Structure 1
Amino acid sequence: MMGHSMLAVSTALTRRAALGLALVGGLMLATQQHAEAAAKATATIGMAIEPTGLDPTIAAPVAIGQVTWQNIFEGLTTVDKNGKVQPQLAESWTISPDGLTYTFKLRQGVKFHDGEAFDSSVAKFAIDRARGADSVNPQKRYFASIDTVETPDASTLVLKLKQPAGSLLYWLGWPSSVIVAPKSAENNKTTPVGTGPFKFVSWAKGTKVDLARNADYWNKAGAAKLETATFRFIGDAQAQAAALKAGDVDAFPEFGAPELMASFAGDNRLATVIGNTELKVVAGMNNAKKPFDDKRVRQALMMAVDRQAVVDGAWSGLGTPIGSHYTPNDRGFKDLTGVYPHDAEKAKKLLAEAGYPNGLTFTIKAPQMAYAQRSAQMLQALFADIGVTLNIETTEFPAKWVADVFKAGNYDMTIVAHAEAMDIDIYARDPYYFNYKNPAFNDILKKVEATSDPKEQEALYGQAQTILAQDVPALFLFVMPKLGVWDKKLKGLWENEPIPSNVLSEVQWAE
């Protein structure tokens, strides 16, 4: 009897214990699955440079748009991953035959993240803010052709132009042209409010920006797949690589160190993706200053440069040599690296002809970024071969470089990667830090804007590239690649970069 009851009790205990364990196990499994599901609903994106603010309509650094463009903020038009203009907050438009009137049909039912409605009066506010007398928009010139902004009704916006602007629809898709609202505009620098698929949550300065899915997003088909996303700021390339390998960040769409790309070879979890950017590395010269006011000196310096050696030495062989201020992604691209190929002997002769038989000495103001420092060192070695002494002065970017070079024009030579797409027109701007003046070049750029015929524009862009390749207002070196490193299961990041960006709307985890 006693044995029987003990057996019954112990069996009952065992059964209860087993049931308890099963419950705990089930809870643990459920918790684990929940954690995995939560992890799959979020992504952490690494960036080397932290933005200075979060409003791309008031400041130039590309990092601002890389966090906010197409995530928080949207434009009347947008530029897709292939560099093509697409409708966005404007669902369609018509252009008058003379190219002077653009009539936009706006999307209805669109709301900003704080509930403010988007309509033609908001679009007018954003455009007037960008083009007004006291505007600090970094691309204010995009709006210079606009004469009046009219709002016949809530869903119609009419732009009347002073002169045709063949690139207007493209420019309206840029980060600097996003639509901001009257109520929230002045605080967008720290708490951005847009119409995009993600809402701003918080910004821990020096560390990260957190975003969350916008549940009320107007474009149901383009709604964010992720529930949350984080941009983590890690400046040091070794630390970037360590964070990727540890899984602390899921992706570094612009990984900072080409020499470390090989360290990911054979990694089971991480993929390396090499795409195109618009980053043209050019060594600008002060064309208004001796000896750079003599075209022969500039041409001689170009012939001293072995572009492939610069790419190899500065960027581990990852990059495309260029002969003008244009990339192979851009429409109407011409390979002009053969106009002044590397030829040290010819370069020496041309320098002597220009009155410098014993060479030259001058200074390059080089930003602290690795590509600029290494490229400057390569130029220093190549120039030495033709008797030119190049002194390298590290110039803190952006603050000191913008003040000394960009604004004051106080420099001999500098080096920087120009990130804007199709920005060949910078050589027609006055003032601009190259101090290059060529009326024939300016006329070609005016003709580009006077037509909206793509074939005609491409032919004109070809002429513009050729003039720069021959005149050499800057040493055209190479296009930097987009070095992406990300988790193989993370899909939807852009491989190429027609506009500096981190568009997250299509990013999701594969099952």
Structure 2
Amino acid sequence: MAMGRRPKLAIVGVVTRLLVVAGVFGMLSAPVAAESPKAGGTLTVGLAADIQHFDVFQALGYEAIWALGNLHAGLVRVDANGQIVPDMAQSWEVKDEGRTYVFQLQPGITFHDGTPADAEAIKWNLEYIIDPANKANTRVFFTPVASVEALDATTLQVQLKEPSADFLMVLAGYRQGFLVASPTAVKRWGKDYKFHPVGAGPFKFVSWTPGQEAILEKNDRYFKPGLPYLDRIVLKTVKEATTRIGAVRSGELSFATWIPLEMVRLLEGTPGVKVETSPIYSVWDLRPNVQSLPFDDIRVRKAVLGYGLDRQQIVQVAFGGHGQPTVSMLTPGMPGFNSLMEVYPYDPHKAKALLKEAGYGPDNPLRFTMLSPTIEPAFTNVPTLMKEQLARIGVEMKIEMLDKVTWMDRFIRKDDFQLTFGNLTGFTIGAFAPYFETTSAINFANHTDTRTDELFKRWRTTVDPAEHARVTEEVQRYLADTLYLVGFANTPFFHAAREHVKGYWFVDKLLLNFETAWLAR
């Protein structure tokens, strides 16, 4: 597995005119194997949760992102080292002081349905995302776009309203990146497109039985010669971690995702199995609903989510000592990371004082419910420990466990929650903008603070490196002050595979790529 390193943000200077030509797709950062890749075979992958669905514009959850990334192609991608590399675009040029991007496409690319994946199709996808009526999850990333034009079948021009510090990374690696769907298929299926995805990636969609498995098979017309090597991928839902681990140990599964931290050592000594991780680009975060009681009150947020939590104990007990405590919403892999632990040191007395000021105490204890998904033991361990810690400051917390898809629907689509938590993964803080900006369809906290929008806009449009670093620090501290979301731990992430599975790569929870995967048997 190719290990990652900290990605470099493409900051466009005032007089920069960048021409990137990479013509040969062999430049893609695939792991180098001691033996030549072999074509053929089926890779059976165990997922820790159901795939929500396959609509590339709306899907949530890492399992969906992993599947969509193997079904679709984009203009550019992030490789295993966090570097921006060609995908459908074989070269690109940045002009007009960073306001104009011109992409030269690989000629002759087609979608899985046989329709052209040309500049017009890509233009359609960008305009679909930008249209607020479609409520695309990643729309806020594309607000800087002024216009999109297909100059010819293989030339796409994107004009921005102002220079952008991260537009290429938006396309390459924010969430699933900008993945291109067949306009014909989206129009044909309408709301049912989520059951009939059509991309131009290395694998094409065959079938999906929700809660059981999804089947992908080789795209014989893939535009990268010789790829993929695998004939088929079967994505099986195996929610119980011990079952998933037992299946990869026995060989029933070739690959098991999302290995719980406390089970890593159990697998490490298993003959024929490799357990692998990557640099940390994720943060475990607490997510209050600030539109309703009790977390509409900043004093309550500071008491419960700040001073009332012993983050060090959470890392030691709930995560078995793996990782580090944090307050920041940045991750250790991001430029400008600072844990900000000094902002909210564990201070039960200060937490109690804030709760008293907010009207809570022995005669009127603070009560609320925390939602948690049943993905891995940490999602039980963390709220259980939090409940014990918060009881010390007189808070009564109830825990409600839900399957992952129901959990996402409750807190993202229905706003039916008081507090929940999860983990986010990204290469820069800009990747988290949809979870904070007030106009976003996935503004987790449901806040209306437009100062947050202004800060993220400044972050995106500040191209001077020194000033960009200052804005990064300002964003980081403002998020800690407001507590719309707040970090509490950074931990490593693990997958496990049989030794004969070669050539795949992943970056934390964000990317899981099987384009170059092959089976050595």
- TM-score greater than 0.5 by the shorter chain: yes
Show the counterpart of 1:463. 474
Q: Does the CA-based 8 Å contact 1:77-1:85 persist in structure 2?
A: yes
One-letter code aligned to 2:501: L
Task: Give 2:503's aligned residue.
Answer: 492
Q: How far apart, in 2, do the equivalents of 1:250 and 1:39 lie?
A: 16
Q: How far does the alpha carbon of each residue in 1:200-249 deviate from its partner, in whole angstroms, 9 at most, with x for none? A: 3333444333333333322227x223233322221111210221121011
Taking a change above 3 Å as real, the CA distance of residues 276 and 117 of structure 1, as seen in their structure-2 partners, is same
Q: CA deviation at 1:293?
A: 4.2
Relative to structure 1, the CA distance from residue 479 to residue 429 in structure 2 (aligned partners, 3 Å threshold; closer, same or farther) is farther
Alignment of 1:366-445 (within 5 A): 366-369=371-374, 370=376, 371-395=378-402, 397-399=404-406, 401-403=408-410, 405-419=411-425, 422=429, 423-425=431-433, 426-430=435-439, 432-436=443-447, 438=449, 440-445=451-456
Change (3 A) 1:388 1:259: same
Alpha carbons 1:79, 1:173 under 8 Å: kept: yes
- Structure 2 residue runs of 5 or longer lacking an equivalent are 1-36
Counterpart CA distance in 2 for 1:292 and 1:203 is 39
> Which of 221, 224, 229 pairs up with 1:225?
229
SS of the counterpart of 2:104? strand
> What is the correspondence of 1:99-110 to structure 2 with a 5 Å cutoff?
99-110=98-109
Q: Which amino acid aligns with 1:443?
A: E
Cα distance between partner residues in 2 of 1:90 and 1:354 = 55
Q: C-alpha deviations, 1:74-123, integer Å up to 9, x for none?
A: 11111222333222112222233343322222221222233322221111
User: Shift in Å at residue 327 of structure 1?
Assistant: 0.9
Task: Name 1:197's counterpart in structure 2.
Answer: 202
Counterpart amino acid of 1:152?
Answer: L
Which structure is richer in relative contact order (CA contacts within 8 A, separation 6 or more)?
Answer: 2
1:208 to 1:433, Cα distance in 2 relative to 1, 3 A: closer
2:335 aligns to what? 331
1:460 partner amino acid: V
Q: Distance in 2 between matches of 1:322 and 1:354?
A: 26
Name the SS for the 2:184 alignment partner. coil
Q: 3-state SS of the aligned residue for 1:183?
A: helix
Q: Distance in 1 between matches of 2:318 and 2:116?
A: 49
How far residue 465 of structure 1 moved from its aligned partner, in angstroms, is: 1.0
Q: Which has the larger radius of gyration?
A: 1
Distance 1:439 1:39 in 2: 52
Secondary structure of 1:367's partner?
strand
1:481 maps to 2:492 = yes
The alpha-carbon distance between structure 1 residues 453 and 75, as it changes in their structure 2 partners (threshold 3 A), is: farther
Q: Is 1:96 matched up with 2:95?
A: yes
1:282, 1:478 within 8 Å by CA — same for their partners in 2? yes
1:70-85 matched pairs, under 5 angstroms: 71-85=70-84
Distance in 1 (alpha carbons) for counterparts of 2:132 and 2:361:
50
Deviates more, 1:203-212 or 1:266-275: 203-212
Report the AA paired with residue 67 of structure 2.
V
Distance 1:166 1:340 in 2: 31
Q: CA deviation at 1:477?
A: 1.3
Question: What amino acid sits opposite 2:290 in the alignment?
Answer: N
Distance, in Å, in 1 between the alignment partners of 2:268 and 2:74 is: 39
Alignment of 1:96-135 (within 5 A): 96-135=95-134
Separation (CA, whole Å) in 2 of partners of 1:141 and 1:309: 36
Structure 1 length-normalised TM = 0.82
TM-score if structure 2 supplies the norm length?
0.81
Q: Secondary structure at the match of 1:414?
A: strand
SS in 2 for 1:134: helix
C-alpha spacing 1:40/1:112, structure 2 compared with 1 (3 Å): closer
State the alpha-carbon separation in 1 of the partners of residues 331 and 360 from structure 2.
33
Matched, 1:451 2:462: yes
Identify unmatched segments of 5+ residues in structure 1: 1-36
**Maintained 8 Å contact 1:322/1:335:** yes
Residue 208 (str. 1) matches residue 213 (str. 2):
yes
Report the CA distance between 1:419 and its aligned residue: 4.4
Work out the CA distance in 2 between the residues paired with 1:364 and 1:457: 39
Determine if contact 1:224/1:506 at 8 Å carries over to the other structure. yes
Identity of aligned residues (%): 26
Q: 1:262 aligns with which of 248, 262, 265?
A: 265
Q: In 1, distance between residues paired with 2:351 and 2:369?
A: 19
Contact 1:56 1:176 in 2 (8 A): no
Aligned to 1:485, the other structure's residue is in SS state: strand
Contact 1:253 1:482 in 2 (8 A): no
The question of whether the paired residues in 2 share the 8 Å contact of 1:364 and 1:415 is answered with: no
Q: Please state how far the C-alpha of 1:402 moved relative to its aligned partner.
A: 3.1
2:63 is matched with which residue? 63
Which residue identity does 2:217 align to in structure 1? Answer: A
Contact kept in structure 2, 1:99 and 1:165, CA below 8 Å: yes
